[in-house]
């Protein structure tokens, strides 16, 4: 299954490669699935009185295993390339280097720590770990669609033949598939603040990527998903903590 390491015997359904552009409407559903499996296990641990910290660490670890650190890899690669700077060819070469640099290590470590801190904060505010991770992961998948639709591919990108511009119909469907369940479990204004933060992230990373690479790449999309998830959860923590 795309975005995960969950095995799907696709040839059983079709001889053709899956059309990921047409299937983009389902991206949030993949996020919900990963969140359901990882968050559900973490929630079970909490119910049997395993400390919240250990339960949240376990749930996040399971999510990384389920996805093969797919978006985490994009975050690290983008941090290494953009952090080093230089001409687009140099940045792209660094991003495709399998070795992890100082910027990538720092970004990945801080990103995972921030994710853990946000998740623990929301659990302590009385929200279900299953709900937090499901809606959070799905928000990152939705951000990918918006980033792809509002930015051109870099000439150095290798994603052009994989994900093209998503149709307005499918983009709206993906948005509704995420927004409606989220609205059932989260206060409207908390959700709104989280969405605003996602928009800021998509706009800023898109602008930065255009400056650095002349467009977006697969690593940029992965980083966008990861950082958008953090931004969304951060918005929830701010609102639900009564800070605004």
| Residue written as token pair 């639900």 | 240
CB 145 within 8 A of CB 166: yes
> What pLDDT is attached to residue 2?
58
Distance (Å) of CA 93 to CA 5, 87, 156: 26, 10, 10
Q: For residue 240, give the H/E element and its range.
A: helix 218-240
Read off the tokens for 35: 């969140």
Domain borders along the chain are 36-239
Cβ–Cβ contacts within 10 Å for residue 233, how many?
25
The burial class, CB within 10 Å (0-12 / 13-18 / 19+), for 14 is exposed
The burial class, CB within 10 Å (0-12 / 13-18 / 19+), for 15 is exposed
> What pLDDT is attached to residue 161?
47
Read off the tokens for 228: 């958008």
> What pLDDT is attached to residue 3?
62
Q: What are the pLDDT tens digits along the chain (244 aa)?
A: 556 666 666 555 555 666 778 888 889 999 999 999 999 999 999 999 999 999 999 999 999 999 888 888 899 999 999 998 888 889 888 888 888 889 999 999 999 999 999 999 999 999 999 999 999 999 999 999 999 999 888 877 665 446 778 899 999 999 999 999 999 999 999 999 999 999 999 999 999 999 999 889 889 999 999 999 999 999 999 999 988 7
Q: For residue 55, give the H/E element and its range.
A: helix 52-67
> What pLDDT is attached to residue 23?
82
Summarised one tens digit per residue, pLDDT across range 158-217 is: 654 467 788 999 999 999 999 999 999 999 999 999 999 999 999 999 999 999 998 898
pTM score of the predicted model: 0.91
> What pLDDT is attached to residue 153?
85
Q: Where are the beta strands (DSSP E) in 134-218?
A: none
CB 178 within 8 A of CB 134: no
């Amino acid at each position: 299954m795309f975005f995960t390491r969950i095995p799907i015997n696709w040839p059983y359904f079709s001889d053709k490669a899956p059309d990921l552009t047409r299937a983009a409407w389902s991206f949030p559903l993949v996020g919900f699935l990963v969140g359901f499996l990882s968050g559900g296990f973490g929630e079970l641990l909490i119910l049997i009185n395993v400390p919240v910290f250990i339960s949240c660490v376990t749930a996040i670890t399971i999510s990384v295993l389920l996805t093969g650190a797919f978006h985490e890899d994009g975050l690290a690669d983008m941090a290494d390339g953009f952090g080093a700077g230089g001409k687009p060819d140099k940045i792209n070469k660094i991003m495709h280097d399998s070795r992890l640099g100082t910027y990538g290590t720092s970004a990945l470590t801080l990103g995972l720590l921030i994710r853990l801190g946000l998740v623990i904060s929301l659990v302590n505010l009385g929200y279900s770990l299953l709900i937090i991770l499901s809606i959070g992961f799905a928000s990152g998948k939705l951000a990918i669609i918006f980033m792809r639709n509002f930015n051109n591919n870099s000439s150095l990108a290798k994603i052009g033949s994989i994900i093209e511009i998503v149709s307005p119909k499918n983009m709206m469907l993906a948005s509704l598939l995420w927004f409606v369940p989220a609205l059932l479990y989260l206060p409207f204004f908390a959700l709104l603040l989280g969405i605003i933060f996602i928009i800021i992230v998509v706009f800023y990373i898109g602008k930065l990527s255009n400056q650095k690479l002349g467009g977006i790449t697969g690593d940029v999309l992965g980083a966008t998903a990861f950082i958008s998830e953090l931004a969304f959860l951060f918005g929830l923590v701010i609102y639900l903590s009564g800070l605004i």
